[in-house]
Structure 1
């Protein structure tokens, strides 16, 4: 017998083995740094995996560590992904000026990262309307304010522009992720706000992941209903802004797109119009909390014939609407295929059975499909048809969505109906047929 030691493996295989261990963020669970101390070969192989992703956080120690890493050329050459963490544990107001100075200096060092091609920005889940009321140039009073987010994004935009000019041979930014982006015109692909213009990234981006949030419902806005008010300018203007300033400029280049929201979006209070959105290279699409309210509302997705992966997370069909007319005037919501029940009460007859059949027939390359809900299935199970797949909306004093009972999908509304139960047989048939065809494509049959 021949004894085979791990050092007998080819360097490429050994690199894959070492790269499978948890990285920097999990170093407390596994001593990844110790791998580099085994020998010179392991140090050479492990370093690219260890320093591929670095994080810029909030505290002074984080800034010091960031400065220390970027001061070493042998480490800088391995950095491909930068995660910027702007959430939780912010400094008190007197320390904000000091934090801004450290942050601006740290972000300015992005020009030293020639191999950088992925950027992730994580904002706080909470945000307020301070910046909207006082303008984007408002004082940096709080990290939750719109003005604070705009300042952070403007510094990032300036640093990326400088990097593109100063380092002509640098790798382009291929992947951009923004978590908890406020539903407010921030970074722009449309060149209407110079400080936050990132239109120079348009042609290089291949992966775009956006998760946006709405303003807080606070005591200050109690009588104004905060962002729950369907007439709020931020909610009504953000959806078209998302289309025209993010999706249209990048649609010729993206291969992966994810659009998710903490609030339900797509139908009310602002209609998402996907007409004309064609992504010729798109392979993967994720939609989170998207509400379908019309027969042609999903056509823009079905038009992406290159799709191989489609993930519908917490998506629902809008079945019943109490619509007081004010929403219609402010957000221009189409009602052409809604059936009038009573004064300002509507019913939309769309079903998932029809939608699943259309996905089955009109997306010929689909090999991966998820349809799940955190509300109805614990944990989310892609092969189990979730009960919360139909929804109703009531534009009362504090507008609310009715997601249905978690057990059987009963909408528990004025119409006392259970769309999930009514359509279960047809939806299940179409869903299983879709999954079977997707599986056959995946297996190459």
Structure 2
């Protein structure tokens, strides 16, 4: 420790910068010097949850002018103490109850001391970033038998109150993250107005979308009506109001989106976009690639987390209007039931990587593969796009309507056998499984090398030295 304490202050600052939040707290206690330097880094962010200890700690920061000036980011956790995402060492007496004369708000069941502190966000003079986090499980009209922690009414109430606070801050936040935002849009005029006002001042927006799930019947998840109401309007409601100033955009979803449910972003352009991260986004048309490369004048970072190319799809003939493909893209197929239609997409990842290489001249960092902690606490990775393991992780998929537990599969399950199979033979034309090719790997390698990134992949396209992620 004496050797570290002898380092220049600038180096100690860098140590704090790269350390985890827990390590920062420990290192700050090492000496008076690290205590002084570490104050800035330990109190750079503050977190409030509906726990007595959390509210007390948050109030202590607010009541100390020397600390409030360091806070630039606030995490607002709405999960209750019985939920997984709250600290593991919680104690029963840490939860608010009526006996403490701390009655709760009837709409969202969060204690009033919690909301009293959220209403004091204006006391952080340097706060520029807010992360609002919900529970990963969702209530819904189609599966109301399954009890969940946070109902739709709960989420409506929280969104209304938080955005009312943010919209009335003396200085609007420039960064906003919403974790497990359920796929519905507020309908009351005041909340819609506040959301648009906050979005209009943002430089960074992270949206992680949660949806209702049918436990044990995963094939029903993609049929929930809320999905098909929300995603087609995502661009207009959440992105267009922020388009003029946005420099970073993250879009993740618990379910695959883009193809089905359809999510068309091609009409929205971000003239200042420097960083783009997509999670569970599906590619099936050239216009999606063109939309990314249309930001070539500004884009410097691109992250694709579990984002497959859909090379074959078969869908119910009555569902084509809910997909990203136009009607004339579909046709009949001898191995597909007459009640369904079939389409294929010829582009491969080699085509995409070459396009990124040629049409994104300012690209400095690229990650393609899968990030850490997918489905940890039943949710998607949050604020971790920079830690994606570069590899071919399920890069090609199909949509196979009528099958489960998920319609998204590595290859189609055909409804009918072809003539050769019926005769005991084999028709290679129907062996449609697509795997990463040597051309794909060469194109990825060329793109990475252009930016000074190195990665070693095995013959299956997996990373030869995958990182070990810390919790």
TM-score, normalization: structure 1?
A: 0.78
Decide which of 199, 211, 218 is 2:208's aligned counterpart.
Answer: 211
Equivalent position SS for 1:163:
coil
**Cα–Cα, structure 1 residues 184 and 417, in superposed 2: closer, same or farther, change >3 Å?**
farther
CA contact (8 A) 2:301 2:365 kept: yes
Deviates more, 1:9-18 or 1:279-288: 9-18
2:343 is equivalent to residue 347 of structure 1: yes
Aligned length, in residue pairs? 399
**What's the Cα RMSD here?**
3.5
Deviation at 1:57, TM superposition (A): 1.4
Q: Deviations over 1:333-382 (max 9, x none)?
A: 5244345424323131322222222222211111211111369x9x9641
1:80–1:116 contact (8 Å) kept in structure 2: yes
Q: Per the alignment, in what secondary structure is the counterpart of residue 310 of structure 1? A: strand
Change (3 A) 1:435 1:340: farther
Match among 263, 266, 271 for residue 275 of structure 1: 266
In structure 2, do the counterparts of structure 1 residues 15 and 320 end up closer, same or farther at CA, with 3 Å as the change threshold? closer
Moved over 6 A (4+): 4-8, 91-95
Distance 1:237 1:349 in 2: 25
- Does structure 1 retain, via aligned residues, the 8 Å contact 2:46–2:73? yes
Say if 1:92 and 1:215 are closer, same or farther in 2 by CA, change over 3 A. farther
Is 2:190 the partner of 1:194?
Answer: yes
Per the alignment, residue 425 of structure 1 pairs with 438
Structure 2 matches for 1:237-316, cutoff 5 A?
237-269=229-261, 271-305=262-296, 306-316=298-308
CA distance 1:323–1:60, change in 2 (3 Å): same
Gaps of 5+ in 2: 83-94, 375-386, 418-429, 455-471
Structure 1 distance, partners of 2:51, 2:206, is 26
Is the 8 Å Cα contact of residues 295 and 337 (structure 1) preserved in structure 2? no
Task: Give the Å deviation of 1:331.
Answer: 5.8
For the structure 1 residues 132 and 79, does the alpha-carbon distance in structure 2 shift closer, same or farther, using more than 3 Å as the test? farther
Higher relative contact order (CA 8 A, sep 6+): 2
Are residues 362 and 150 of structure 1, via their aligned partners in 2, closer, same or farther at CA, if it must alter by over 3 Å?
A: same
* Cα pair 1:323 1:346 within 8 Å, conserved: yes
Report how far residue 426 of structure 1 moved.
3.1
**Are residue 364 (structure 1) and residue 377 (structure 2) matched?**
no
In the alignment, which residue of structure 1 is the partner of 2:452? 439
Match for residue 395 of structure 2 among 389, 394, 399: 389
What secondary structure does 2:29 align onto? helix
- Separation in structure 1 between the aligned mates of residue 363 and residue 140 of structure 2, nearest angstrom: 41
Corresponding residue number in structure 2 for 1:71? 63
Q: Verify: 1:62 aligned to 2:54, yes or no.
A: yes
Cα deviation for residue 276 of structure 1 reads 2.5
Q: Secondary structure at 1:304's aligned position in 2? A: coil
| CA distance 1:59–1:8, shift in 2 (3 Å) | closer
Q: Work out whether residues 323 and 345 of structure 1, in 8 Å CA contact, stay in contact via their aligned partners in 2.
A: yes
SS of equivalent residue, structure 1 residue 83:
strand
> 1:109 deviation in Å?
1.1
TM (norm. structure 2) is: 0.74
1:392, CA displacement in angstroms?
A: 1.4
Q: 1:115 pairs with 123, 126, 134, which one?
A: 126
- Aligned partners of 1:71 and 1:92: how far apart in 2? 21
CA–CA separation in structure 1 for the residues paired with 2:191 and 2:301:
35
3-state SS of 1:393 partner: strand
**Separation in 2 of the partners of 1:418 and 1:43?**
61
Preserved contact between residue 228 and residue 399 of structure 1 (Cα < 8 Å): no
CA distance in 1, matches of 2:355, 2:268: 18
**Secondary structure of 1:202 counterpart:** helix
Q: Does the aligned pair in 1 maintain the 2:137–2:150 contact within 8 Å? A: yes
- 1:260 is paired with a residue of what secondary structure? strand
- Aligned-residue offset at 1:390: 1.4
